[in-house]
Amino acid sequence: MDGGRAAALVEGYQPGSFVLAGPGVTVAAEGSRAVVADTDPDELAAQVTKQLVDTGAPFAVGAIPFSQDTPAHLVVPESARRAGGVHPYRPVEPWVPARPEVTDVPDAAGYRRAVAAAVSALRADHELRKVVLARSSRLLFDEPVRVGALLSGLTATNPLGYTFAAPLPDGSTLLGASPELLLERDGGRVVSNPLAGSLPRGGDPSTDRANAAALLASAKNQAEHRVVVESVVEVLRPFCRELSVEGPSLVGTPTMWHLSTRVGGELVDRGVSSLRLAAALHPTPAVCGTPTWAARAAIAELEPFDRGFYSGAVGWCTADGDGQWVLAIRCAQVRANEMRLFAGAGIMPDSDPAAELAETEAKLRTLLQALGL
Ligand SMILES: C=C(O[C@H]1C=CC=C(C(=O)O)[C@@H]1O)C(=O)O
């Protein structure tokens, strides 16, 4: 029973270990034979492949940060196990913490102001087409955060998502349930599944259906989505013999509706690893904006915190280059009694600051619901 093996990998989570559980593949890794930390995508992929060949380890795991100046954190583990999809999955006993102390950075008014400033910049600057602005929420508990129980709960409630717990170089853990596949490589076949353009789920079935229909019909969200698909296609095209683009269609998480497109291709050169492709795609306009340099500059000016590994990628890669990388979104950085939750929204020239705030509130609920908050 592969589902049972996959569930055991999630339940075997220990502090400091790595788990990524999704609909098709579940991996878990412990210990460290080698760590590769580099900022250059080619170097990173080449060093990881070399370490995998030298050590004979089945795959490397790790995380890529948002910033191009911060090194990635890739680990060649002592033990690495892989199973199939994890669903259907029954969660272990949940962790029910007492209400934490909450500090939002920026606060709601500050986020609306940042969105308004981004809208002005988008209207004034004809080069900048889209920028993703994020906010964070710091939760302080009166006991250490139980990552294993939260990972299990997130896995149970996000059957279409990719649930992860990834150790970071500073000893903290990135924990989340991402709906977005940045890149998967299986032999010569690659798939990316960009999501962008979102509305919160409705509280009752008719509002929920109305929100889904409104999202499909929204010119603003369709334009926001197109920018991401165009960029993914442009990056993957030189690596692929042929590319298929299917979408946009609707994808639902427990808290959000998203526009989704599947981009699939056949690699020209199988020597190009999933890590190399993921690093080439990163950051897509789903987490940064377009053009990348201008969006990065706007983010540096308008976001009052360092994103760290939020809006980077989390995944694994074999010596042959196969692997899976998901966007590090709907996630939190956990350290001892503290969680820092992050959520961002794609800002377009016609964005409404109140609607973007509501969208980030709904995105934060992925983690808040797992905490029973
Ligand atoms: C940046 C995030 O979501 C991205 C992924 C899907 C939809 C998005 C949107 O509609 O804005 C974002 O681009 C986040 O969840 O923090």
Displacement of CA 58 from its chain's centroid (Å): 23
| SS3 state at 13 | coil
Q: Is 209 exposed, middle or buried (0-12, 13-18, 19+ CB in 10 A)?
A: exposed
Q: Which domain holds residue 346?
A: 2-85+100-370
Q: What does pTM read for this prediction?
A: 0.97
The residues carrying an active-site annotation are: 130, 180
The sign one gets for the Cα dihedral 203, 150, 4, 252 is: positive
**Res. 53: pLDDT tops 80:** yes
d(C-alpha 138, C-alpha 168), whole Å: 18
Within a domain: 92: no
**CA 79 to ligand 1 centroid distance, Å:** 33
Does residue 125 carry a pLDDT above 90? no
pLDDT of residue 1: 46
CATH label of the domain that carries residue 289: 3.60.120.10
Q: Is the pLDDT of residue 336 over 80?
A: yes
State whether ipTM is beyond 0.85.
Answer: yes
Q: Residues 171, 150, 279, 193: what is their CA dihedral angle, to the nearest 10 degrees? A: 180
Ligand 1: distance of its center to the CA of 286 in Å?
6
CA distance 229 to 247: 9
Is the residue at 49 inside a domain?
A: yes
Looking at the CA of residue 221, tell me the nearest atom of ligand 1.
10
pLDDT tens digits for 344-365?
A: 999 999 999 999 999 999 999 9
The rounded Å distance from CA 256 to ligand 1 centre is 10
Could you give the CA distance from residue 160 to residue 252 in angstroms, rounded to a whole number? 8
Contact status, residue 90 vs residue 62, Cβ threshold 8 Å? no
Q: What is the pLDDT of residues 243-255, one digit of tens each?
A: 999 999 999 999 9
Q: For the chain, count helices (H), then strands (E).
A: 9, 20
148-176 pLDDT tens trace = 999 999 999 999 999 999 999 999 999 99
Mean pLDDT of all residues in the chain?
A: 97
**Nearest one of 124, 66, 115, 109 to 303, comparing CA atoms:** 115
258 CA closest ligand 1 atom index: 7
Residue from 158, 180, 198 to probe ligand 1 pocket by mutation (most atoms less than 8 Å from CB): 198
Task: Please state the domain count of the chain.
Answer: 1
Tell me how far CA of residue 303 lies from CA of 64, 195, 354, 363, 366, in angstroms: 20, 22, 17, 17, 21
pLDDT at 225 over 60: yes
Query: Which tokens is 37 given?
Result: 């930390």
Average pLDDT over residues 257-268: 98
Nearest residue CA, atom 13 of ligand 1? Answer: 286
Let me know if residue 91 belongs to a domain.
no
pLDDT confidence band for 94 (50 / 70 / 90): very high
**Structure tokens given for 63:** 């995380």
Q: Which atom of ligand 1 is nearest to the CA of 224?
A: 10
Rounded mean pLDDT, 73-85 = 98
Residue 135: inside a domain: yes
Q: Does residue 93 lie within any of the structural domains?
A: no
Band of pLDDT at residue 3, cut at 50, 70 and 90: confident
Structural domain contains residue 94: no
Residue 221 lies in a domain: yes
298, pLDDT greater than 70 = yes
